[in-house]
């Protein structure tokens, strides 16, 4: 059974940043990632550009150079992959951690499973959970949600050309998807619980969206919700009245939540709202030796802006590990 100082679960930007911060503090780590490096970014829309500027997404003091003011998804994938390779971050990709078990001596036993079915076991002095949210969408709990026509992710508009598409949500992801779909020739209706446009919509995007709504090229239903999804229609409820629209696809862009069952399986306490409890100053969870990093510690704000702050979580964790004496550092690395 391999012995590790720290095992990081998840190779997103904040997991990579944590590994590099530990490395700089003389602490060795291994990242175990159930998919590929920065898998969450591969889930973003194909032609998406980040809201953040490149400098706010940088890790490991390596410059993030881009062709335009806002980095694209492809540029981000290339950047984080290059940083991981350049800094020699140890990553076991396509390997899923299935159990974390606290031991009597304060250490942890971990079990994992590879894509080929091989199981592995590890021991570690500390565990950092950097798993993000994006495998656990917030479900609607309505009839028809299980149909193949329903997706909680939007990647690109081309497959929806000429189709009737309903988008559930009013955040940036919903607005951006609606604009791309309209340009690709889809007939789009956005269904949003809010009474008016969300204040979080990017200011340079909102006028374009409002203009298309005004021209009836995008349908907008405020203070509304979809209450049923059928093979060829959706039912929308507004002010106690129902409307049925022809529909081919539904994009339920309703947000995500952490894997509560996994965290609770090894004792991490949850706040009343269902988010894992942790110390903001150290990122320590309720279980000594277990830390949170990245989007899993974002509470309500699970979006790309959290990379800006989550990339510094590893620094807090490294300092706390050294302060508590849980880890004995090797020679510091530059």
Per-residue pLDDT of the chain (334 residues; tens, 9 = 90+): 779 999 999 999 999 999 999 999 999 999 999 999 999 899 888 888 887 899 999 999 999 999 888 899 999 999 999 999 999 999 999 999 999 999 999 999 999 999 999 999 999 999 999 997 777 888 899 999 999 999 998 999 999 999 999 999 998 889 999 999 999 999 999 999 999 999 888 888 999 999 999 999 999 999 999 999 999 999 999 999 999 999 999 999 988 878 889 999 999 999 987 789 999 999 999 999 999 999 888 876 555 447 888 899 999 999 999 999 898 876 444 4
219 DSSP assignment: E
- Residue 318 token pair: 């490294």
* Per-residue tokens: 121: 């076991």
pLDDT at 334: 41
Region at 132 (left for phi over 0; alpha for psi -120 to 50; beta for the rest): left
Sheet containing 187-191: order of strands: 150-151, 249-252, 164-168, 187-191, 218-221
- DSSP H or E run through 31: strand 29-32
Report the pLDDT value the prediction gives residue 50, as an integer from 0 to 100. 86
Which pLDDT does position 300 carry in this prediction?
62
CATH, domain 150-252, list 3.40.50.2000, 3.30.1330.10, 3.40.50.1370, 3.50.50.60: 3.50.50.60
Helices (H) and strands (E) in the chain, counts: 8, 15
Q: Where in the chain is the domain with CATH 3.50.50.60?
A: 3-135+256-324, 150-252
User: Of 183, 174, 168, 180, whose CA–CA distance to 245 is shortest?
Assistant: 168
**Two tokens at 110?**
């971990």
Q: Looking at residue 286, what is its pLDDT?
A: 96
Q: DSSP label at 229?
A: E
Q: Are strands 108-114 and 233-238 parallel, antiparallel or unpaired?
A: unpaired
User: From CA 114, how far away is CA 212, in angstroms rounded?
Assistant: 47
Q: Are strands 249-252 and 150-151 parallel, antiparallel or unpaired?
A: parallel
- Name every residue whose Cβ is closer than 8 Å to that of residue 106 and which is 6 or more positions away in sequence: 125, 288, 289, 326
Q: Domain 3-135+256-324: give its CATH architecture.
A: 3-Layer(bba) Sandwich (3.50)
Rounded to two decimals, the pTM is: 0.84
């Amino acid at each position: 059974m391999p012995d590790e100082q720290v095992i990081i679960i998840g190779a997103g930007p904040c997991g990579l940043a944590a590994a590099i911060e530990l490395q700089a503090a003389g602490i060795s780590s291994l990242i175990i990632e159930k998919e590929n490096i920065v898998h969450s970014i591969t889930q973003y829309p194909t032609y998406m550009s980040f809201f953040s500027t490149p400098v706010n997404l940088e890790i490991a003091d390596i410059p993030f150079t881009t062709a335009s003011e806002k980095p694209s998804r492809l540029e981000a994938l290339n950047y984080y992959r290059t940083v991981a390779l350049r800094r020699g971050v140890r990553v076991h990709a396509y390997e899923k951690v299935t159990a974390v078990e606290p031991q009597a001596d304060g250490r942890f036993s971990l079990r994992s499973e590879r894509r080929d079915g091989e199981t592995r076991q590890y021991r570690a002095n500390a565990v950092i959970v950097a798993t993000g949210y994006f495998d656990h969408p917030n479900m609607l709990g309505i009839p028809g949600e299980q149909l193949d026509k329903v997706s909680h992710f939007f990647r690109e508009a081309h497959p929806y050309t000429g189709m009737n598409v309903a988008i559930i949500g009013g955040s940036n992801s919903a607005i951006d998807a609606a604009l791309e779909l309209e340009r690709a020739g889809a007939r789009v209706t956005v269904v949003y619980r809010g009474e008016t446009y969300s204040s979080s919509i990017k200011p340079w995007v909102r006028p374009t969206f409002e203009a298309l709504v005004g021209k009836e090229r995008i349908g907008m239903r405020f203070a509304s919700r979809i209450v049923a999804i059928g093979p060829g229609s959706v039912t929308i409820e507004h002010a106690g009245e129902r409307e049925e629209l022809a529909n081919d696809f539904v994009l339920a862009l309703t947000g995500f939540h952490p894997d509560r069952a996994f965290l609770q399986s090894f004792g991490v306490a949850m706040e009343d709202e269902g988010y894992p409890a942790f110390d903001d100053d150290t990122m320590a969870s309720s279980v000594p030796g277990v830390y949170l990093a990245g989007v899993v510690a974002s509470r309500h704000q699970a979006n790309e802006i959290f990379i800006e702050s989550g990339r510094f979580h590893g620094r807090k964790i490294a300092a706390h590990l050294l302060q508590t004496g849980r880890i004995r550092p090797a020679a510091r690395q530059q």
